[in-house]
Amino acid sequence: MASGPTLLAKIWSSRKAYLFLSPLFLGLILFCYYPPVSGIYHSFFDWDSVGKAVYVGLDNYRELFRDRVFLDSIPTAFLILVPRLIIGIVVPLIAAEMIFNVRQKRLQSAYRVLVLLPIVAPGVVGLLIWKNIYDPTSGLLVALLRGTGLIAPDRVIDWLGSADLIIPSIVFMGFPWIGGTSVLIYMAGLMNISSEVIESSELDGAGLLRRIWHIDLPHLMGQVRFFLIFGIIGGLQDFGIQIVLTSGGPGYSTYVPAYYMYIEAFTAGRMGYATTIGTVMFAAIFVLSLIAYRGMKTETN
Amino acid sequence: MTQYRRLPQWFLNAALVALLAMLLYPLGFTLWGAFKSDVAFAATRWYPTLPLRVGNVSSAFGSIWRYLLNTVFVAGVGTAGMLLIASLSAFTFARMKFFAKEWLYMLVLALMMIPGALTLVPGYMLYKTFDLLNSYWALILPLVTGGPIFGIFLLRSFFESIPKDYFEAAQMDGAHDFKLYYRIALPLCIPIMGTLAIMQIVGAWNEYLWPMITIADHEKLTIAAGLLISFTGQYTSNMPVTFGGYLVASVPLILLFTFTNRYYVQGLLSTAIKL
């Protein structure tokens, strides 16, 4: 037993570090650890917006897995998530490679700054500007299509109002999809590849594409993993477009689980049912990001 | 070196300029849209024209200044608290030896995997129980409590990369842990703290869901929620004034960006954000 100091002695000798960490953990326990526990707990309750909770066992879950709105919202979420995820990983990578390969340092740093510029517009403003671009009669998109003769000059296209167009419209939103922060994160990775590796590959006669494929990409896998995991976590929960632009419509065509949860909680006042949706989403997101992480890990080894 | 295997530089530059033009066009569109009269907007919205109608911007300012003030207050207090807690905690994790260190660190990082979908509703009910709804606390506390998590992740590896000699020399002079933190660690991490601060301020600027849910009183709304809930509804038929509002809403961020983009770029380029 008597090998080394006891647990209490270890804790006592760490008191200073714990003191430094106490502001952090005080906030975390109350506002970050408690809510998820409370969420899972209340998914077994009929919880109303006043706070009254009645235990109902698995009733919420039974109802949820028979709920057509919820079940139909799952494929919708993936239809939106998958293309946006791929775009969000690939396009900034291309942009980073392009900027990285610019020889003139002054131009390169100018591009780095310009690519970040869109963050000065609040995200809501970005969405509202796209609403304007998608205006059926006078938006930029119909104006462009009319101007180039692709559609008749009097043609009206309701990009956000028709069930067939809404998903492609959402995916296209934000074109040319160059997220400045992502570009810089990739560039940081590229700058970490030693110039000797790059030069020796050039001496071997490797062309640009081969260099990107065999040297840059393997070095950037950590960044790709980061964007993939946090893209899944963030993307599956995002319902900004639903709140700002579509209200889940037309019909139920843009309902995603997260938006349904929001509606159930804050317009229907069914807090318990909403936490059930939240709990199921948590489980799904956890499993998905684990699979993605494992899959990516073996791929690089 | 085999020059012909590279992309020609002129082509690369042309492609980048074209991409950036497409990326930035919506911003330009908003910018000149804000200075047009109704009539000019209807006829020539796609490109800038003279004369500039400054009146749009000032009437937009009249209806959103309150939201701006709220946001500056909330983001300022929240970010200051976040930076303090994040840097002190990251320093502790990076530089001090203590029991259950890695275990506690994992406990913090694990929170990055907890999705907001799970915490939105119970979080709201928690603030309701504490009677914090419809107060600035509801907006500031999430920044100070949850905000440091990503910062700790970023700053810990940064502090660990500072050569040990820096700290050992000071320890010889009898500096205690807290002094090591604010004399050595803090000054060195200013650029990366700038990056963090910008991320958090931009985050607070963009947040609309949480204020929409927790704040009933329009007087206390932050800018994104204010724009969304009240401003756009007020001026639906007057696009130039609406754009004027977007412009005014962006001005503080434009200023922030102008003065700090070097830190932000440097900070991002000097840390490895990856998994």
Partner B, chain A 180-209, Cβ-Cβ below 8 Å:
181, 184-185, 187-189, 191-192, 202-203, 205, 207-208
Q: Which pLDDT score is estimated for A300?
A: 52
- In a domain, residue B41? The reply is no
For residue B50, give the DSSP letter.
Answer: S
Banded model confidence at residue A4, pLDDT cuts 50, 70, 90 = low
Banded model confidence at residue A59, pLDDT cuts 50, 70, 90 = very high
Is the pLDDT assigned to residue B1 strictly greater than 70? no
CA angle centred on B273, ends B269 and B275, rounded to 5°: 155
Banded model confidence at residue B81, pLDDT cuts 50, 70, 90 = very high
Higher pLDDT, residue B145 or B160: B145
Cβ distance A125 to B116 less than 8 Å, yes or no, reads no
Q: Which residues of B touch A187 (CB under 8 A)?
A: 269
Q: Which pLDDT score is estimated for B149?
A: 93
Q: Which pLDDT score is estimated for B2?
A: 43
Is the pLDDT assigned to residue A204 strictly greater than 60? yes
Cβ distance A189 to B274 less than 8 Å, yes or no, reads yes
Domain extent for B78: 58-270
Provide mean pLDDT across the span A165-194.
89
- In a domain, residue B150? The reply is yes
Q: A258 to chain B nearest CA, in Å?
A: 6
Is B39 in the A-facing interface, judged by CB distances under 8 Å? no
Q: Which residues of A touch B178 (CB under 8 A)?
A: 20
Q: Which pLDDT score is estimated for A301?
A: 45
Q: A155 to chain B nearest CA, in Å?
A: 18
Q: What is the pLDDT of residues B177-198, one digit of tens each?
A: 788 888 888 888 887 888 888 8
Is the pLDDT assigned to residue A256 strictly greater than 90? yes
Nearest CA in chain A to B43: A138
Cβ distance A226 to B275 less than 8 Å, yes or no, reads yes
Partner B, chain A 47-76, Cβ-Cβ below 8 Å:
47, 51
Q: B153 to chain A nearest CA, in Å?
A: 13
Q: Which pLDDT score is estimated for A26?
A: 94
Q: Which pLDDT score is estimated for B181?
A: 82
Banded model confidence at residue B267, pLDDT cuts 50, 70, 90 = confident
- In a domain, residue B8? The reply is no
Is B237 in the A-facing interface, judged by CB distances under 8 Å? no
Structural domains present in chain A: 61-300 (1.10.3720.10)
Q: A218 to chain B nearest CA, in Å?
A: 13
Indicate the residue of A101, A191, A225 with minimum beta-carbon distance to B269: A191
Bridge partners for B259 per DSSP: none
- In a domain, residue B237? The reply is yes
Share of chain A above pLDDT 70, in %: 97
Cβ distance A184 to B269 less than 8 Å, yes or no, reads yes
- In a domain, residue B167? The reply is yes
Bridge partners for A46 per DSSP: A54
Is A147 in the B-facing interface, judged by CB distances under 8 Å? no
- In a domain, residue B159? The reply is yes
Provide mean pLDDT across the span B81-94.
92
Cβ distance B273 to A115 less than 8 Å, yes or no, reads no
Banded model confidence at residue A131, pLDDT cuts 50, 70, 90 = confident
Cβ distance B88 to A126 less than 8 Å, yes or no, reads no
- In a domain, residue B40? The reply is no
Cα four-point dihedral sign A271, A273, A277, A282: positive
Is the pLDDT assigned to residue B6 strictly greater than 70? no
CB A138 within 8 A of CB B239: no
First-to-final CA distance of chain A: 42
Q: Which pLDDT score is estimated for A274?
A: 96
Distance CA B3, CA A245 (A): 49
How many domains would you assign to chain B? 1
Banded model confidence at residue B4, pLDDT cuts 50, 70, 90 = very low
Q: Which pLDDT score is estimated for B114?
A: 87
Cβ distance B92 to A17 less than 8 Å, yes or no, reads yes
Cβ distance A181 to B268 less than 8 Å, yes or no, reads yes
For B182, residues 6+ apart whose C-beta sits below 8 A from its C-beta are: none
Domain with residue B135: its CATH number is 1.10.3720.10
Q: Which pLDDT score is estimated for A54?
A: 93
CB B34 within 8 A of CB B246: yes
Q: Name the average pLDDT for chain A.
A: 88
- In a domain, residue B30? The reply is no
Amino acid identity, position B66: R
